[in-house]
C-alpha cells in the first residue's frame, strides 16, 4: 500500500495540472465549494463534511454549450463544442463518487448515450477522501455505502495522522499513482485504518435503508402523505440542484437571428413550469404532484429501471431544504406506514 503525505498534496495537484484540469474543495467566503484550481494548488482544504456543490458539476455542469450554429444565406454551419480536457476531481466524498455510478446508468447505459457526459467521464478521474467525521445529515450507510467506501472512486485516500493511506481502486487510479510515483511513499504500517473507515456508522446510521420500499410504493401514487409534505414545500428546487444524483435538464437556444448557441442546463421537477407543455397544459399542476415525482423517482422508478435507489445519502437536500422536507423522513414514514 502507498501513502501520501498531506504536505505533498499540493505537489501532486500541481503535477496533475500539467495535463488535466484540477477540481478540489476550496473555501470561498466561508463556503466550501468544489472549484477549479488555477495556479493555486495550495488552496485545497480538508475542512468540510460535504462540499456545497456535488461532483456532478464537473461531469454534468449546470450549463453547457452543446453546439453553435450559424445560418448565413441558407448555408447552415454547425460547430460542435471543443474537445474537453482531462479532469481530476480531488477531495470527493465516497457518497458523491457512488452517485457518479448512478449518473453513469442514466447517461451511458443502453442504446443511446450522452456524448458530452461520456467524454468528460472518460477523461476524468476521481480521487476520493474518506470521511473522518460524518455529520447529522449523513446517511450513506442506509444505502449500503460507508464513510470509507470505494465504489465509483479511482483512488481513495484514508486520512491518518499527517498522511493519507492510498488505495487504488481502478486501473485508471493505479496508472495515476504509477505516473506520479515520486510523490507517493511506501506505507509499511499495517493498521486497521481502512477497515475502520469502512465500518464507521453515520449518526443516522442505516435506520433509513429503504429495503424493499420500491415494491410497496408502487401502489402509493395517491397516498395522502404526498399532499402533507408538499404543502410545506416552497418549490425552490434547491434539493434537486445540490443532489449528486438528480439529472434532469432542459435544452434551449440562445440566438440572435439565425446565429446562436444551443445550451443544456439543469432543470428540476420541483419547478412549476418543468412539466408545462405546449397548449399550456401542466400534468403536474401543483406541488403535490411534483413532490411525489421527486420521491417516486428516487425510491421507485429508478430502482425499477436500474435496480438501485437514486439516493446515496449524502445529506445535501436535507441540509439545504429551508422547510425540512427530509428524504430519510419520507423513507422511515413510508416503511412504517406500508
Partner 1 sequence: MMNMTEKMLEQIRDLFEKKNIKLFIGFEKGFEKFSRIPAFAENYDEAKSMIIDEFETPLLAKYLIRELGEVGAGAVEKSERVGILTRGCDYLSIRRLVVDNIILRENLVIIGIPCNGLIDPKKANKLLGEEAQEITVDEKIVLAKGEIKSREINKEEILLDRCKKCIMSKVEESDILLEENMDDMEVSKDYSAVEEIEKLTTEERYEFWRRQFDRCIRCFACRDACTACNCRKCIFDITEPEMLEKTVATSEQFMFHFIRAFHVAGRCTACGECEKVCPVDIPLGLLNGKFKKDIELLFDVDEAGIPAEIEPLGEFKLDDPVEW
Binding site for ligand SF4 (CB under 6 A): 233-239, 242-245, 270, 298, 311-318, 321-323, 325, 327
Q: How far is the CB of 211 from ligand SF4 (least distance, A)?
A: 16
Could you tell me the CA-to-CA distances from 236 to 2, 245, 256, 272 in Å, in that order? 45, 17, 30, 9
Distance CA 123, CA 87 (A): 6
Nearer to ligand SF4, 121 or 297 (CB): 297
DSSP state letters, 72-91: ETTEEEEEPPPPPPPEEEEE
Helix, strand, coil shares, percent, the chain, to 5: 35, 20, 45
Distance CA 69, CA 20 (A): 28
255 binds, among partner 1, ligand SF4, none (CB under 5 to 8 A by kind): none
Using CB under 8 A as the criterion, which residues of the chain lie in contact with partner 1 when the complex forms?
28-31, 33, 52-53, 62-63, 135-137, 203, 228, 231-232, 234-238, 241-242, 250, 252, 254, 263, 265, 268, 272-273, 318, 320, 322-324, 326, 328-329, 332
Nearer to ligand SF4, 292 or 298 (CB): 298
19 binds, among ligand SF4, partner 1, none (CB under 5 to 8 A by kind): none
Q: How far is the CB of 78 from partner 1 (least distance, A)?
A: 19
Q: How far is the CB of 288 from partner 1 (least distance, A)?
A: 11
Dihedral sign of CA atoms 328, 330, 331, 332 in order? positive
Q: How far is the CB of 296 from partner 1 (least distance, A)?
A: 19
Using an 8 Å Cβ cutoff, are 60 and 33 in contact?
no
Nearer to ligand SF4, 8 or 128 (CB): 128
Nearer to ligand SF4, 173 or 237 (CB): 237
Q: How far is the CB of 241 from partner 1 (least distance, A)?
A: 5
Q: How far is the CB of 52 from partner 1 (least distance, A)?
A: 5
313 binds, among partner 1, ligand SF4, none (CB under 5 to 8 A by kind): ligand SF4
Distance CA 68, CA 79 (A): 5
174 binds, among partner 1, ligand SF4, none (CB under 5 to 8 A by kind): none
Q: Where are the beta strands (DSSP E) in 7-99?
A: 21-28, 31-37, 63-72, 75-79, 87-92
Closest CA to 174 of 125, 207, 132: 125
Nearer to partner 1, 136 or 191 (CB): 136
Could you tell me the CA-to-CA distances from 289 to 99, 223, 238, 277, 295 in Å, in that order? 25, 11, 17, 15, 10
Amino acid at each position: 500500500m502507498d501513502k501520501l503525505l498531506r504536505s505533498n498534496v499540493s505537489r501532486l495537484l500541481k503535477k496533475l495540472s500539467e495535463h488535466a484540469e484540477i477540481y478540489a474543495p476550496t473555501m470561498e467566503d466561508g463556503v466550501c465549494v468544489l472549484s477549479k484550481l488555477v495556479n493555486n494548488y495550495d488552496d485545497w482544504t480538508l475542512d468540510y463534511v460535504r462540499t456545497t456543490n456535488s461532483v456532478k458539476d464537473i461531469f454534468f455542469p449546470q450549463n453547457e454549450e452543446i453546439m453553435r450554429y450559424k445560418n448565413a444565406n441558407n448555408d447552415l454551419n454547425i460547430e460542435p463544442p471543443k474537445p474537453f480536457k482531462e479532469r481530476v476531481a480531488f477531495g470527493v466524498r465516497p457518497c458523491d463518487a457512488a452517485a457518479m455510478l448512478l449518473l453513469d446508468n442514466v447517461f451511458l447505459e443502453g442504446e443511446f448515450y450522452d456524448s458530452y457526459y461520456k467524454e468528460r467521464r472518460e477523461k476524468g478521474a476521481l480521487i476520493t477522501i474518506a470521511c473522518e467525521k460524518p455529520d447529522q445529515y449523513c446517511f450513506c450507510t442506509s444505502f449500503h455505502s460507508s464513510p470509507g467506501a470505494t465504489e465509483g472512486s479511482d483512488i481513495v485516500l484514508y486520512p491518518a495522522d499527517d498522511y493519507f493511506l492510498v488505495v487504488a481502486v481502478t486501473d485508471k487510479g493505479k496508472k495515476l499513482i504509477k505516473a506520479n510515483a515520486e510523490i507517493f511513499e511506501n506505507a509499511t504500517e499495517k493498521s486497521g485504518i481502512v477497515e475502520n473507515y469502512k465500518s464507521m456508522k453515520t449518526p443516522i446510521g442505516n435506520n433509513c435503508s429503504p429495503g424493499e420500499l420500491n415494491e410497496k410504493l408502487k401502489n402509493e401514487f395517491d397516498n395522502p402523505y404526498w399532499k402533507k409534505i408538499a404543502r410545506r414545500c416552497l418549490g425552490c428546487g434547491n434539493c434537486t440542484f445540490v443532489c449528486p444524483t438528480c439529472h434532469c435538464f432542459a435544452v434551449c437556444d440562445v440566438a440572435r437571428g439565425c446565429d446562436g448557441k444551443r445550451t443544456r442546463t439543469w432543470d428540476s421537477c420541483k419547478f412549476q413550469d418543468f412539466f408545462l407543455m405546449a397548449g399550456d397544459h401542466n400534468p403536474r399542476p401543483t406541488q403535490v404532484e411534483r413532490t411525489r415525482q421527486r420521491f417516486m423517482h428516487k425510491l421507485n422508478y429508478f430502482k425499477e429501471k436500474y435496480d438501485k435507489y437514486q439516493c446515496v445519502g449524502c445529506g445535501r437536500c436535507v441540509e439545504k431544504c429551508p422547510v425540512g422536507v427530509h428524504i430519510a423522513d419520507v423513507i422511515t414514514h413510508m416503511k412504517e406506514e406500508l
